[in-house]
Structure 1
Amino acid sequence: MLSAAAKPSFNSDLATTDRLSNGIDVKLVLPEHSAIAASLSEEALKWLQNDPTVLSVEIDTHRHFMSLYNDDVGDPTVIQITPYSIYQSQANLLTLQPGMKVCVVDSGIAGSTGETGGINNDFDWSNITGSNDSGTGNWFTDGGPHGTHVAGTVAAADNGFGVIGMAPGVSLHIVKVFNAAGWGYSSDLAKAATECTNAGADIITMSLGGGAANSTEENAFIKFTDNGGLVLAAAGNSGNNTRSYPAGYKSVMMIGGNDADNNKYTASQYPSCTNGDTNDGYCVEVSAGAVSVFSTYPSGGATVAGLTVDSVGYGASGMENSGSVSGATYHMGTAVTTDPNANGKICIIDRGNASFHDKVNNCENSGGIGAVIVNNVAGLLSGTLGTTNVTSIPAVGAAFEDRTNLVGSSSALINIGPGDYGYMSGTSMATPGVAGVAALVWSNHQACTGTQIRNALKASAEDAGTAGKDVDFGYGIVKAKDASDYITANGCDGSGGGGNNPPTASFIQNCTDLTCTFNASASSDPDGSIISYSWNFGDGNSDFGVALSYTFTSGGTYSVILTVTDNDGATGTTSETVTVSDGGIATWSSD
């Protein structure tokens, strides 16, 4: 359909009658804008374009609902991308406080050259430790991209490039449990729980599972939660009501998945809440983003696609063929056959009627230099060209929401190459998302236990799917800010007594030779008062006081740690490195 704008002398009633008499199907008259909208043939279009009373004729473009939540658009090597799941779970509305550690039990992390790539620099590596089970190799050498993607969903740094995690920069402990074949035993997970405990982790996240319960494994997670921790695991991706483990244990919070429009991830498993007795722990408790989640990959291990159309960037998912092309665009329909009009152009192709491979192949055999396949349902198209790909031109998938602009475009640029970021789908992506939200909320309410954080996440989740609690979403989609507000209003135990926010530790230093002065008066408590200031000077000595002077016995670099405690027993910690020159005797005094 086209819209036409007329000169000021335009009379809408007369013009409409005139257009109809000339075979133009007028759909809408806009007298206040001196315009009409109409459907017309090529002959009628030429007639209208030659009408001296008509100023312009243009496409009356389609408008669609956007997804409720969307990834930022841009190149992650240049700007920082916030995934839709961050916005959906309100992680952008809450600030992480120090003191939390998440244990990621998976396939390792890309801290060096590994199976699928090199180090990913979108982490705060000073906050990451790890361990490996026997036969899995070094925890900092990835065993495939899965573990790195999971870790990034939790903790990718807020550093101006790449992607940001739910709890950016939170301390991680990585336990590598998958062997080269991509599996491990339940006993490996029991051992991992102990390693997470020894590392001081508050939260365990596991994007893995299997079909049978194991008492040793279950007891390990019961012990972790009894000691105040929180354990989360993925519901699974079989799309049925099978209960997977460890997610199916009462002590473990089972996480389901949803898409950017608050719909259920179709493959998310949905076991009942009854297993002899009825308990939330047997079924999905909350859900988070699980469809096309953007996160970190081992360096060079992902295929990154860029799509610019008429100088505007659009979301794109790369297929197998790498390369960069630019040129005029041509709408090739569903590309079920070759078309000589595509010669030398980038083909804009609608999904349907033929395989992705055949569409791209027909474009290439028509002389096309690149292909953009547009989804026919809401969301970004993520696909492959199959195992027998014979094409060579760059091809990307695009979102249905962008179809009108892509089909009506005049030029495009496609760029596909190796990168450090990519998409994955599954409850494996939702689980670290909830783990990051839990860390974010807990860091602001450190007097709570893991079980109390678990309950707050459920109490504050946004209902989705069938009204009320259901087997697909549990209590709903997790919301960080709402959970924090719930604890503030109702207390850690939900009794309505309000919650205690922890104090924030802060200090300044000034050193001359071996002597340094420290002042912690900038420390603060949002809902109470600080009653204790504890110092650790990093050389085996410690002291108490708001402000003090300390002389080191020898030159060197020391990590000075300040811990403050408020009137409700909550603590806050910070540290700074000091370097002093050689000489002197250790003395200190408190003010």
Structure 2
Amino acid sequence: MDGNGFIAATFSGKNFAQVKGLLNNPHIKLIEVDQRRQLMSAYSDDAGDPMTQKVTPYAVYQSQANQVAFNASAGMKVCIIDSGLDTTNTDFEWNNISGDNDSGTGNWDENGGPHGTHVAGTIGAADNNVGVIGMAPGIDMHLIKVFNDDGWGYSSDLAHAADLCSAAGANIISMSLGGGGANSTESNAFQSFVDAGGLVVAAAGNDGNNVRSYPAGYPSVMMIGANDADNNIADFSQFPSCTTGRGKKVKTDETICVEVTAGGVDTLSTYPAGMATAANMTADGVAFASSAMENPGSVTGSTYYMGTAETTDSGANGNVCVIDLGNISFHDKVANCENSGGIGAVIINNEPGMLYGTLGDTNATSIPAVGATFEDRGALMAASTIAVDIGTSDYGFMSGTSMATPAVSGLAALVWSNHNQCNGSEIREALKATAMDSGAAGKDVYFGYGIVKASAADAYLTANGCAGDGGGEPGGDFTMSANGYKSKGVKKVDLTFNGAAGTHVDVYRDGSMITTTSASLTYTDIISAKGGGSYTYKACDDGSSSCTAEQTVTF
């Protein structure tokens, strides 16, 4: 029996309806399904080798975490509910780390796969001379291992873990996990943590759809989406609506959808020792970024441009092939290089950014093959020699809202460490108020309020205090009401605006601007489409990105 009075049980051979008969027992208040929860990582591409130098992940720069100093004396602690933390990676301040085991999943400090170790590194990897640096380097962390070998846990595990986080003195709970279906026991546990002044952060999910995942979908939990290094939304990042209900029962609640995003595409962090694959490449002695495709080994040779490598080429003999993308697979390109006598292959992207990939399950090649960025194409083509090395590493790349979530958790701790008179809800509001608007103007279902910015949040709290501007939507009191109805069979929506900065506002329907109208008058949108449907509106100050929260009307 847990301290909050709940127990998880299995009833073999009985369905849920049969089990609910136990409610006749006066000592039982509630029976509900124990929902499954799983880790959220969309895919991973191992690359990079920070084994001999400190490497700062792009999300640190993107979120301004490098512009704010972590106050280690503030006593901040992040509780990570995940798959554990492997002690073989030395890029942590181990004196600041503790943990609990849960649900028979093994010790928290034993290898449960790379997921939990990667998450922990993003939050708090040490600022030393090697490896990566976390958002809040060296922060106190408490690990709770809730996942079994198959990567599954249950909502009751998370409810119990929330109690353990509280008992450990954590300020923040970070969960890169989720699943379908709400559970009141789980929801109540996180609400209790928030009511006590804490902050709970969880991943939106990686299915690229508008399904609401839990625990991120609870109002007490801050839902996090993922963006890439170019400020684009990740194609896998889920985007549930902020609106529930239909007709007159429509309700909009920004706490049940994505609130902010952070870097979650190809993010570099800690791995259990030797579990990641790393690629290193130099051209004429200068280091260039690369991603490991296949085949460990180390080679150095003269550069030979092989075009798109769609046939063998005797000029490649004894050289490192530099290859453009074309009409055949990565595997066949590398095979043609090797069959021509080539000793290594570098395949260059045909668009900005790194080329990630593999040579497939039936790889029959043996020479080291790496991907390279389009931006480095000119330098690689002009080089006389290229050296390629592929081996194991303690650091690797992963992608998912699982990676964005610890970035926000660590950043929240970083900001909070300099304003520890605030509570978790106030830190949550500050992050939203200062996020960089991305995507469609104003708040949207993909980015929420935008990409988190540590320095901006720190300055906001310094200028405005923990309570910010005293209430209202983050960033101001500009609001809009939306009333949908039918008149003689025609769908109409009346929009009324309050708190606009100027005399006119831009009105958006489903992400597209439909008109500019007076801020002091009610605007009626007449919808010509037949049948039912849902329409999402927002208003922005004329020509600006200062916007109201979205309102959805369903017919």
Out of 412, 428, 438, the residue aligned to residue 454 of structure 1 is 428
Give the residue type in structure 2 aligned to 1:434.
V
Partner of 2:177 in structure 1?
A: 208
Change (3 A) 1:182 1:496: closer
Q: Equivalences for 1:99-248 in 2 at 5 Å? A: 99-111=75-87, 119-248=88-217
The residue that corresponds to 1:440 in the other structure is 414
In structure 1, what is the equivalent of residue 516 of structure 2?
A: none
- Deviation, 1:75, is 4.8
Unaligned runs of 5+ in 1: 1-72, 112-118, 498-591
Question: Distance between the aligned counterparts of 1:101 and 1:473, measured in 2?
Answer: 27
Q: Deviations over 1:323-342 (max 9, x none)?
A: 10000011112212211111
The one-letter amino acid of 1:101's match is K
**Deviation, structure 1 residue 352:** 3.3
Give the Cα–Cα distance (whole angstroms) in 2 for the partners of residues 74 and 293 of structure 1. 11
Query: What's the CA shift for 1:409?
Result: 2.1
CA–CA distance in structure 2, aligned partners of residues 373 and 131 of structure 1? 45
The normalised TM-score by structure 2 is 0.74
The one-letter code of the counterpart of 2:410 is G
CA distance in 2, matches of 1:352, 1:219: 54
Residue equivalent to 1:320: 294
Q: Distance in 2 between matches of 1:288 and 1:152?
A: 15
> Which residue type is aligned with residue 122 of structure 2?
T
CA contact (8 A) 1:132 1:138 kept: yes
Query: Is 1:127–1:170's contact at 8 Å kept on the other side of the alignment?
Result: yes
Confirm or deny that 1:257 pairs with 2:226.
yes
Instruction: Tell me: CA distance 1:283–1:297, structure 2 relative to 1, closer, same or farther (3 Å).
Output: same
Partner of 1:515: none
The equivalent of 1:383 in structure 2 is: 357
Matched-pair contact (CA < 8 Å) for 2:48–2:396: no
What is aligned with 2:479? none
Other-structure match for 2:509: none
Partner of 1:482: 456
- Distance in 1, Cα, partners of 2:310 & 2:157: 50
SS of match in other structure, 2:234: coil
Whole-angstrom CA distance in 2 between matches of 1:336 and 1:268 = 35
1:331 paired to 2:305: yes
- Structure 1: distance between partners of 2:241 and 2:176: 20
Seen in structure 2, the aligned counterparts of structure 1 residues 74 and 317 have a Cα distance that, compared at 3 Å, is: closer
Matches within 5 A, 1:525-544: none
Contact 2:76 2:139 in 1 (8 A): yes
Question: More relative contact order in 1 or in 2 (CA 8 Å, sep 6+)?
Answer: 2
| Within-5 A mapping of 1:511-590 | none
How far 1:271 sits from its partner (Å)? 0.8
Aligned to 2:34: none
Shift of 1:291: 1.1
In 2 relative to 1, CA 232–74 (structure 1 residues): closer, same or farther, beyond 3 Å?
A: closer
SS in 2 for 1:254: strand
Stretch deviating more after TM superposition (398-407 or 415-424)? 398-407
CA contact (8 A) 1:301 1:420 kept: yes
Cα distance in structure 2, aligned partners of 1:395 and 1:75: 15
Match of 2:405, SS state, is helix
Q: Per-residue deviation at 1:388? A: 1.1
Q: Look up the SS of the partner of 2:294 in the other structure.
A: coil
Shift of 1:407: 2.1
Deviation string, structure 1 residues 273-297 (Cα, Å, up to 9, x no partner)? 1134211111110000011111100
- In structure 1, C-alpha distance between the alignment counterparts of 2:328 and 2:424, rounded to whole Å: 50
Matched, 1:355 2:329: yes
Matched position secondary structure for 1:286: strand
For residues 455-486 of structure 1, the C-alpha deviation after alignment (integer angstroms, 9 at most, x for no partner) is 00000001111111011110000000100110
Question: TM-score, normalized by length of structure 1?
Answer: 0.69
Q: 1:399: Cα distance to partner?
A: 1.0
Matches of 1:186 and 1:170, distance apart in 2 = 27
In the aligned structure 2, how far is the partner of 1:221 from the partner of 1:275? 21
8 A contact 1:330–1:347 mirrored in 2? yes
Distance 2:92 2:205 in 1: 27
Matched residue pairs, number?
A: 418
Query: What amino acid maps onto 1:201 in structure 2?
Result: A
Match of 2:339 in 1: 365
Q: Name the residue aligned to 2:272.
A: 298
**In the aligned structure 2, how far is the partner of 1:495 from the partner of 1:462?**
18
Over the aligned positions, Cα root-mean-square deviation in angstroms equals 1.4
Q: 1:267 aligns with which of 194, 219, 236?
A: 236
CA contact 1:352–1:376 (8 Å) conserved in 2: no
Equivalent residue letter for 2:281: L
Supply the distance in 2 between the matched residues of 1:268 and 1:337 (Cα, whole angstroms).
39
- Alignment correspondent of 1:51: none
SS of the equivalent of 1:257 reads: strand
Bigger drift between 398-407 and 153-162 goes to 398-407
Deviations for 1:389-444, whole angstroms, at most 9, x for unmatched residues?
11111111111111121122221000111110011111111100000100000000
- Structure 2 Cα separation of the partners of residues 284 and 334 of structure 1: 42
Distance 1:404 1:416 in 2: 23
CA deviation after TM superposition for structure 1 residue 74, in Å:
8.3
Q: 1:491 aligns with which of 462, 465, 469?
A: 465
Matches of 1:402 and 1:375, distance apart in 2? 9
Corresponding residue number in structure 2 for 1:564: none
Structure 1 residue 186, shift from structure 2 partner: 1.1
Q: Distance in 1 between matches of 2:244 and 2:256?
A: 7
Distance in 2, Cα, partners of 1:459 & 1:221: 23
Task: Give distance in 1, aligned partners of 2:442 and 2:456.
Answer: 17
Contact 1:489 1:496 in 2 (8 A): no
The equivalent of 1:341 in structure 2 is 315
The residue number in structure 2 matching 1:87 is: 61
Larger radius of gyration: 1
Answer yes or no: is the 8 Å Cα contact 2:269–2:396 preserved in 1: yes
Task: State the 1:495 CA deviation.
Answer: 3.2
Structure 1's consecutive aligned runs of 4 or more residues displaced over 6 angstroms after TM superposition are: none
User: What's the counterpart of residue 536 of structure 1?
Assistant: none
Take 2:81 and 2:291, find their aligned partners in 1: how far apart are those partners? Answer: 28
What amino acid does structure 1 have at the position aligned with 2:125?
A
Q: CA deviation at 1:211?
A: 1.5
